[in-house]
Every structure is written in C-alpha cells, then in structure tokens.
Amino acid sequence: MADAAFTQGAETADRGRLWVVLYLATTGLVLLLMMLAGLWMRLAQSGWLDTDPALFYQLMTVHGTGMVGIAALGGAAVLWHFLSAHIRLHAWVMGANFWLFLIGVVAILAADFPGRFGGAWTFLYPLPASSQGVWPVWAAALHLGGLLVIGVGFLIWCLELARGIIATYGGLGRGLGWHVLFGGSTKDVPPPTVVAATMVAIVTILALIAGATVLVMSLINLAFPSVELNPLLAKNLIYFFGHTFINATIYMGVIAVYELLPRITGRPWKTTKVFLAGWTLSTTMVLIIFPHHLLMDFAMPVWAMAIGQVFSYVNSFPVLVVTGLGALAILHRSGIRWDIVSTLLLISVFGWMAGVIPAVIDATVAVNSVMHNTLWVPGHFHFYLLLGLLPMIFAFMIHLVRVEDVTPRGGDLAAILYLLFGLSFVTMFLVGGWASVPRRWAVHLPEWQIWDQIAVIAAAGVITLTTVFVAMFLARTPAMLAKG
C-alpha cells in the first residue's frame, strides 16, 4: 500500500503556488467580512443593534452565499496544492476559476446591496421572482447570474481535476482505488490525496450541473414569468447542489489532515482497503442523502425520505471510523510537541466528527419534525465548518508560510482560544434549536435573546482569532514568495 509523502521539511511541488496563495488571501479576507456580517446578524437578533429586517436578510443572503464560496475557494487551495505533487495540473485553470469567482462576487454584491436582493443562498423558487416589491427583478437575475458564473468557474476547475486524475491513473475509478479495492491490484495505488480529489471531482461536477440547471431555469422564469417551474423539482435540485457542494469543501480541506499529520508525526497515512471503501462509500452517500433537507416536504416519496434518514447515518461511518480514528491513531503517542498547526489540525478533526453528531440526529424524521429550520440546523453546520473546515484551512495557511517546514515552533494558545470561542458560538445555535428558535428570523423574541447575546460575545472572539490566523498568513506571505 502507498504511503503519503511525509518527509519532514520537504516542499510540495506546486505549479500553481501563486494562485494557491491568492486563493488563500482572498479566502482570509472574504471570510473576515462574512464573519462580520454574521456578527451583525447575531447582534440584530440579540437586540443589541437595531437593524432594518430588509438589511438583515440582505446580510443573511451575502453571508450564506459568501461563506459557501470561500469554503470552496479555501478548500480548492488545499486540494490543488497537495494534488499538484501527484498529478500534473494546468495552473491557468486556477486563474480562470479565480477571475470568474471575482466576477461572480461583484455581481452578487451589486445585486444584494444596491439591488437589495435578499432571497437567501437557497434562492428557493419562486422567491427570487416574488419579493412583493422588496427587490427588483434585475437584482434577482444579477444574483443568480453571479452564482452561475462562480459555478462555471468551479466546474472548469473540477473538470481539470478529473482530467488530471484520468490522465495519470487511467480513470476516475482507479483514482478512487477500485482496482485495489475490488481487483486486488497492488499497482498504482492512489495516495489519500488523489482518492479524496477524485471523490471531490465526481460529486462536485454533478452538484454544479444540478445547480447550473436550476439557476438557468430560475433565470428563464425571471425573464419570462409565464414559464413556471415545479417548486419541488427546483427544491430538490437546489439542495442536491448545495448539500453536495458544501460537503465537498470539507473533503477538499481534509487533504490538509492527510498530508500534514504524516509529515508532523513521521507516521504514514496508508491507502488501505478500508480507507478506499470509506471514500467510495462517502462518494455514494454524499450524492444520495440530500433528501434529509426535504424531510418536511411531505410530497416527496417516502423511499427518498428513508434514504435521507438511514443513509445520512451510514454516511457518518467514514468520517468517524476512517478519517477520525485514523488521525487519532497517527497522533497517539507520536512524540510530537503541539504547536499551532498540529493543534488546528486536531481541532479540525474533532470539529468534523463532533459536528456529524447533531447532523445525524437532525436527519432522523422524528427529530426533524421538531428541529427542522430551527437554530439546530446552523448549529450543526457551523460546527463542522467553523471547527472542522476552517481550522484545516488555517493550518494549511500557516504551514505554507512556514515554507512547509513542520518543525514545531511557538505555542498553540490562539488555536485553543479559537476552539473555546467556536464551541461557545455553535453551542448557542444548538441551544437555540433545543429552545425551538426558528432560523432565519431577523427579529428574535426577548426570551431567545440571552442565547444570541452569548453568541455575539463568542463570535467576537472567533473573529479576533481568525484575524490573528489570517494576519499570520498575510504578513509572512511576501517572505515565503521571495523564497520561491
């Protein structure tokens, strides 16, 4: 079985390093802005900052859309950097995706602020076309068009991943290691990074096609209102796209764990059959479990709901017993000294595993009946994005500006404080869900506001620590680039 490259101090050959740095810098800056938008929303809900509901919903739309976008941008930087060591990729694709991303962002910002569009990231049909005069049709079209442009950029990017994997390994099945898993071959065993990248390419391409389809359908409806869509079909396409795409960002980010923990500990992360089975299972499950977002749409077929519940549970297996336990085994009694990078990676695995727990519970129909669209939902996804994906990206940022030298240095207090503030923040969402507080409400009842006020304080801490991580990256980037 193949070992991950774990030479201490070795730099990864990366033909798109400048783009990776630009992706990360953009991720850091946009992330901070989106976090400030999130803080503003929690301040409004807490009663501490009087905010026009129209502005709240505009901020909510920008926050949700922007966070999904930068999760993908940051995850893409991680994936590209490490995959470049295994597969020859064309760096211009990173550039094309970046410029399309920026064009899309400008369009969305113009639509959401001057245009006052506030249709949420979900843009559920027919809300974009039916705002009761709150926003004009052009703003809705510009927002959806911006999303489409960003989606096209990521589709090109994913197609390049798929091309590179096929060219190097002979097919996407071989990228997932099926010749090893099912054929018993010991040749051309794909390293964990390639396996994860193959999964990301497959699921994201399918997600983006679904997303583009519903976006084009919605744009046609905006232009020609007499052309109506089936709202349930539109909802299925939107959640298939959204669920799969945001999950794929975590599968991009986890490559930092697969690559960095072996380098830090000197212990290899092997591509075993269990590992391959886990990733094949994840590939399948991520694509089919999206109906757990539609459990309260009783018009859906019951079999789809059964898949949404039962397979959401099954989907937790690879996270818990393959990646989670694998990371713990590599770290256990490894003789390392904790520093900010290794602690962030440890936090990221914890955040991902722990976030799965309230997610699986909510995917149970009996629970979903009284938890769906309460604050429990942002509670669980903030858990594995704030404490799972983001620490992966922060760890990678700091690793990169240390010129990929994994020798431990400095303390890890900032990482621990980030964990504590992050835990407090997501716990307030979960407590809100327990208390039946609806999500996406601009105004909260007084009895809910104590949880919002604690969340505001925790969010301020999270933003402060995020600023520290991003500043560490940006401040050292010129020196890192100067070294080539």
Partner 1 sequence: MSIQTVSALLSLVAILLLAAVFLRVRSLAHEGREYAPVQGNAYRIRNIGFWILVLVGLPITIWLFRETPYTAQAAAPQVINATGYQWYWDLDRDEVAAGTPVEFHVTSADVNHGFGIYDADGTLVAQTQAMPGYVNRLTHVFDAPGTYQILCLEYCGLVHHNMIAEILVTEGSTDG
The footprint of partner 1 on residues 26-85 (CB under 8 A) is 53-54, 57
Cis check: omega of the bond before 358, within 30 degrees of 0 = no
Which stretch in 30-38, 93-101, 312-320, 457-465 sits in contact with partner 1 by CB under 8 A? 312-320
Distance CA 418, CA 420 (A): 6
348-407: which residues touch partner 1 (CB under 8 A)? 349-350, 353-354, 357-358, 361-362, 364-367, 369-374, 376
316-345: which residues touch partner 1 (CB under 8 A)? 316-317, 320-322, 325-326, 328-338
Which of 219/229 has CB closer to partner 1? 229
Q: How many residues bind partner 1 (CB under 8 A)?
A: 83
207-266: which residues touch partner 1 (CB under 8 A)? 230-232, 235
Is there a contact between 219 and 145 (Cβ–Cβ < 8 Å)? yes
Which of 230/464 has CB closer to partner 1? 230
Residue 443: other Cβ atoms inside 10 A:
11
**Whole-number minimum distance, CB 423 to partner 1, in Å?**
9
**Whole-number minimum distance, CB 380 to partner 1, in Å?**
9
Which stretch in 5-13, 23-31, 163-171, 292-300 sits in contact with partner 1 by CB under 8 A? 292-300
Burial category of 478 from C-beta neighbours within 10 Å (exposed 0-12, middle 13-18, buried 19 and up) = exposed
**Whole-number minimum distance, CB 376 to partner 1, in Å?**
8
Judged by DSSP in three states, 15 sits in coil
Which of 131/247 has CB closer to partner 1? 131
Distance CA 55, CA 392 (A): 32
Distance CA 207, CA 342 (A): 32
Nearest to 72 by CA among 111, 107, 35, 26: 26
Distance CA 78, CA 396 (A): 7
Of the residues 443, 450, 475, 481, which one makes contact with partner 1 according to CB under 8 A:
443
Locate 80 and state its tokens: 């590209």
Angstrom CA distances, 229 to 71, 139, 218, 232, 237, stand at: 30, 20, 8, 9, 12
**Whole-number minimum distance, CB 346 to partner 1, in Å?**
6
410 near partner 1, judged by CB under 8 A = no
445 near partner 1, judged by CB under 8 A = yes
Calculate the CA dihedral of residues 252, 253, 257, 259 and round it to 10 degrees. 50
Which of 138/317 has CB closer to partner 1? 317
Of the residues 102, 103, 310, 480, which one makes contact with partner 1 according to CB under 8 A:
310
Judged by DSSP in three states, 124 sits in coil
446 near partner 1, judged by CB under 8 A = no
Task: Supply φ then ψ for residue 69, to 5 degrees.
Answer: -65, -45
121-140: which residues touch partner 1 (CB under 8 A)? 122, 124, 126-127, 130-132, 134
256-275: which residues touch partner 1 (CB under 8 A)? 267, 274
